[in-house]
Amino acid sequence: MRPEFTPEQRELRHAVRELCQREVTIERLQSWATGQDASEVALLDVVARLGWLGLGVPSSSGGSGAPLVDVACLVSECARGLLPRALLGAVRGATVLARVAPESRALGSLAVGDNRLAVAADEAAARRPDRYETEIRRDGAAHRVYGVKAYVPDAVESDLHLVLARDADGLAFVLVEAGGEGVSASSLRTFGGDRQGHVHYEGAPVVERVARGSAALERFDRTQQALALAEMVGGMDAVVDMTVAYVKEREQFGQKIALFQAVRHQVADMGTSQTAARHLAWRAITRIGADFVQGDEIDVALAYVGRAFREACVTGHHLHGGAGFVVEHPLHFHSERAQSLAIRYAETARALDAIAVSLLD
């Protein structure tokens, strides 16, 4: 199977790549890593006007109504070009909500960039929903959220939080105003370039109850995984391309290091892993988008792609030598994102465990 994109998808990928080449510089990458600045805000406005934030939002809510594969194409190219993680978070938040609750009232403002949504799922001591302690309590005719969510991306900068919490009937997805009553967020220092935070909900009013049940939870998880796979293969493509370009130019002992057999072997290994990761990722993304997941193909993609991306970064640093470790080089940004994405969305051990269970079942 060779992943093939439609003409519209190729045009979208080309437009994103042109924007990245024009707007992303090493100076801006360093600035974005330390905090939101004017260039990031301006770039978010540009992307909103292009309609990319609402690409996966239904047309009835002001979006484009594009399928998940199209959104994955956008995310992959954004990751390849190292657009700010906050921008990717805005796309992710709108897309996840659209997939879980396509009739949510909040989608209109997310599609045009008036509001941004943060996904508040994990807790400090729990990543499995059946162990969440955050709960929804009835307060007269209203409902309020009590609990603590950990490592929430863009917790401070967002306008709304999509909170996974438990009520008397099980797990529910609710929206809470980020700056509203009973909500307090503390920023965390991270190595992956995203801005996370711990969020305390002390009677925070529920703005909207958007979804509930196991079907919504599975759709939520699969959408998160699909977009993470897209980010990882986009970043891996960039790492392989910049490494190949570097070994063609770097000279040692009077000749290009690409002529050395050991270097060729490492680049060949990178290329083989890249091809396998690309095929596994896009197969999984396509199946998730079509709601046609069979067997353990998603777990196989998660187990392989995250590790392949990290290993490609290690080889890239090796072949770049000291040049790849300095802050003035973009390679380390991809390395940091590789670790962050794999930890949050593509835990190799968990995926391998799921594969083993399916094989032994």
Q: Are 339 and 332 in contact (CB under 8 A)?
A: no
Please determine, for residue 212, whether its predicted confidence score (pLDDT) is greater than 60. yes
Write down the pLDDT at residue 2: 61
Bridge partners (DSSP) of residue 165 are 172
Topology given in CATH for the domain delimited by 216-360: Butyryl-CoA Dehydrogenase, subunit A; domain 3 (1.20.140)
Query: 60-87, pLDDT tens digit by residue?
Result: 999 999 999 999 999 999 999 999 999 9
Extract the tokens encoding 43: 């770039």
Q: Is the pLDDT of residue 56 over 70?
A: yes
- Please report the pLDDT score of residue 354 as a whole number: 85
Cα radius of gyration rounded to whole Å, the chain: 21
The pLDDT, as a whole number, for residue 311 is: 96
pLDDT of res. 36:
67
Domain segments of the chain as ranges: 7-115, 118-212, 216-360
pLDDT per residue as tens digits for the range 113-160: 999 999 999 999 888 888 999 999 998 889 999 999 999 999 999 999
| Of residues 279, 343, 356, the one with CA closest to residue 306 | 343
Angle, helices 7-23 vs 38-50, to 10°: value is 160
Q: What is the dihedral of CA 172, 343, 228, 312, to 10 degrees?
A: -170
Could you tell me where the DSSP H helices lie in the chain? 7-23, 26-34, 38-50, 68-80, 85-100, 107-111, 214-249, 261-289, 297-320, 331-345, 348-360
Backbone angles phi, psi at 142, to 5 degrees: -100, 170
**Of 60-64, 165-169, 196-200, minimum mean pLDDT range:** 165-169
Backbone angles phi, psi at 12, to 5 degrees: -65, -45
Q: Is 190 helix (H, G, I), strand (E, B) or coil?
A: coil
Does 216-360 match 7-115 at the fold level? no
What mean pLDDT comes out for the span 257-286?
95
Q: What is the pLDDT of residue 325?
A: 79
pLDDT given at position 210: 95
The domain 7-115 is placed in CATH, from the list 1.10.10.10, 1.10.540.10, 3.40.605.10, 3.40.1280.10, at: 1.10.540.10
Q: Looking at residues 237-264, what average pLDDT do you find?
A: 94
Longest dimension (CA), the chain: 79
Report, as an integer, the average pLDDT of 15-30.
95
118-212 homologous superfamily: Butyryl-CoA Dehydrogenase, subunit A, domain 2 (2.40.110.10)
Mean pLDDT over each residue of the chain, to the nearest integer: 93
Q: What is the number of other CB atoms lying within 10 angstroms of the CB of residue 276?
A: 14
